[in-house]
Amino acid sequence: MIRMKQIQRVLMFGGLGMSLILADSALARRGWPHGRPGGQVSRSLPTGVLTAKDLVLTPSVRDPQISPDGKWVVFVVGRSRIKQNKGHSNLYLVPTKGGRVRRLTATKKHDWGPRWAPDGRSIVFLSTRKKSAQIWRINPRGGEATQLSRRPMGVGGPLVWSPKGDRLLFTGKAYPQCRDEKCNTAEHKRRKRSKVTAQVFTKLLYRHWNHWRHGKVKHVFAFTLRGRKVQDLTPGPRDAPPIALGGRQDYAFSPNGREVVFVSNTDKLIAASTNNDLFRITVRGLRGRLRTSRPQRLTQSKANQNSPVFSPDGRYVAYRAMKVPRYEADRQRLVLYDKRTRKHRVLTESFDRSVGEVVFSPDGKTLYFTSQDRGYTPIYTVPVAGGKVRKLVKKIYARYLRISPDGKHLVFVSVASHNPAELYRVSTAGGKLLALTKLHAGLRGRVNMQTVEHLWFKGAKGHRVHALVVKPPNYRPGRRYPLVVMVHGGPQGMSSDSWHPRWNAQLFAAPGYVVLMPNFHGSTGYGQKFTDAIGGDWGGAPYQDVMKSVDAALKKFRFIDKRRICAVGASYGGYMMNWIGTHSRRFDCLITHAGVYDLRSKYGTTEELWFPEREFRGTPWSNPAMYKKWSPSTYIKNWKTPTLIIHGQHDYRVTVGQGMQLFTALQRMGVTSKFLYFPDETHFVQKPQNRLLWWKTVHQWLAKYLKGQRRGRR
């Protein structure tokens, strides 16, 4: 039976809250998954702790959009379905002042990317209701959605309205040789009819992250609502927007609708280039079509520029810019381009953090942005005229930053390690946050989760280094708990006080462990010099920081059992596990997910070559000593620690061969090891049942060495 108090809480938060809390209540009775996903149930975990099913079924909240009249926010809620082994997403509405959440769409596929029409009478969005993603439209008051586009090659986002509301910009796949949509459609149909599956490559990059490019590029298209015509605005052999290192939105209409600014990389070898630049084209309507000018390059730097945002009066284009070419982790500065003077002015040169999402105030006098800072992503503000950067909202993890039409409020999504994503509002003058949604009230009401604690210690080079600590959910003073050290990826990334849908600190802590998350040399959010420090030193200062973080945690937190310690990590974090395995016997067990094992073979199978060439000061043939020095494979004979290896077949960043090589070596040397292989996953494990298996395997491995009879380090 569901308790009456739960039902009362449900009624406070509307229909969506009801469905979520009912699901939470049902899960609370089911306990911990045992055996195959969805099969037998085990109650090995104490009640009131987070489970893998909880995590998989926790809805995501993203992409809020404020209505033109400022009264409503439409946003996306994504949910997983374990039995069907897939997810779906729908659109929801909530008043900007707070109130009842209302579901706007109901599909078992994916609805996402909502954008209000300029007149506020309709909302367009992307949907896979009929196989490929297309543009749909719905009345915000309710009713059935109608399909607008029927592009054979599909439609991508984000959607961008023209000021008059007669056109939309979107992204889509195109063929390099085609100059118009008629050619794209014909070539697409021809290839679908062909029985030949072989492909011929003549240049890099032919695959990226988790997909093959199949000889296609990405372009910006215009969709005219009257006549439903599609027009390629960036035809040719180059990706526009770029294939990598762009922002959340890399194209924009000017306020008068006569210009489009977009981002593209025109270098010959994009696999070794970060040279994204801003381009401008003029557009004007002609018999239902747009006539465009030749692209004009607005930025000249060989480094990365992206995320153009027009000022409300159209005079300025704000964008993010790096200074160092072929380096993806350089500081993102906020720059203002003045169209009248054609000059570029940096607004954040003295601000030693990278700028995230950027929005203009409606009066054009102020810019608001997010930026990583010591385990958080606060909101900052800076005057357009220039001046001091001011932190507006502290100690939050903000994403999807939006501003109200009257400029009085900011709306955004925020998370914490103990709190999944919710929608919030805050005054542009600062002050207290107002939660617009409380979708996870049921989860927080029945599951014990500890808030993050902070640990500062003297790390490598005598520098002050930061780590985050999460206690087990049922922590009791006087008891001692095993330690799990969780190392983030990137490597230029940051462990934060945030809710992660996969690498979740609360779920690592759930069986009764303390979780330690060090932000070693190379981490973001601590100044650019600290971020740069990892280059050419992958197993140096970062490794020392990880080891010193354990020493510092043991010294400060007497409740940690120093005899039971394991470490886990993915991507670069997986590399660090492999480095630890070949350089230390301190840990009782290791878990390495998508970890780099051999830098030389990894170079030949990865896609973004600018990354290893910057990190290791050249190629394996121009600087072989560096690749040999920092490859865990060089020192494999030293490995003794029991290790769980996890890898996905469709990981094209750190290919599956890295995990296979490591497993072969450990098995050959007689080191206790297990290989969890996912033939249908990428760098990330995303399918619901695979995620359940992942957590089951990980928790079993940790329990074997942290809860069983201690075997002692060899």
d(CA 403, CA 416): 22
Tell me the CA end-to-end span of the chain in Å, nearest whole number. 51
699 is catalytic: no
Catalytic residue among 311, 330, 651, 699: 651
Tell me how far apart the alpha carbons of residues 379 and 372 are, in angstroms, rounded to a whole number: 9
Torsion 493-58-449-511 (CA) sign: negative
Q: Contact, 396 vs 371, CB < 8 A?
A: no
Nearest to 142 by CA among 72, 93, 69, 101: 93
Which residues lie closer than 8 Å to 622 by C-beta, 6 or more apart?
A: none
- In order of 399, 418, 472, 504, 556, the CA distances from 469 in angstroms are 23, 12, 10, 13, 11
Closest to 497 (Cα-Cα) out of 649, 339, 372: 372
Q: Residues 561, 420, 546, CA angle at the centre, nearest 5°?
A: 35
Considering 25, 571, 601, 633, which one is annotated as catalytic?
571
Decide if 495 contacts 486 (C-beta within 8 A).
Answer: yes
**Structure-block tokens of residue 452:** 């993050």
Whether residue 353 contacts residue 372, with contact meaning beta carbons closer than 8 Å, is answered with: yes
Phi, psi of 416, rounded to the nearest 5 degrees: -140, 165
What is the widest separation between alpha-carbon atoms in the chain?
A: 79
DSSP one-letter code for 110 = B
Cα 53–Cα 58–Cα 64 angle in degrees, nearest 5: 165
Please answer whether residues 101 and 73 qualify as being in contact, where contact means their C-beta atoms are separated by less than 8 angstroms.
no
571 is catalytic: yes
Rounded Cα distance between 305 and 245, Å, is: 9
Q: Please provide the size of the chain in residues.
A: 714
Catalytic residue among 409, 418, 521, 683: 683
> What SS3 state is found at 414?
strand
Active site residues: 571, 651, 683
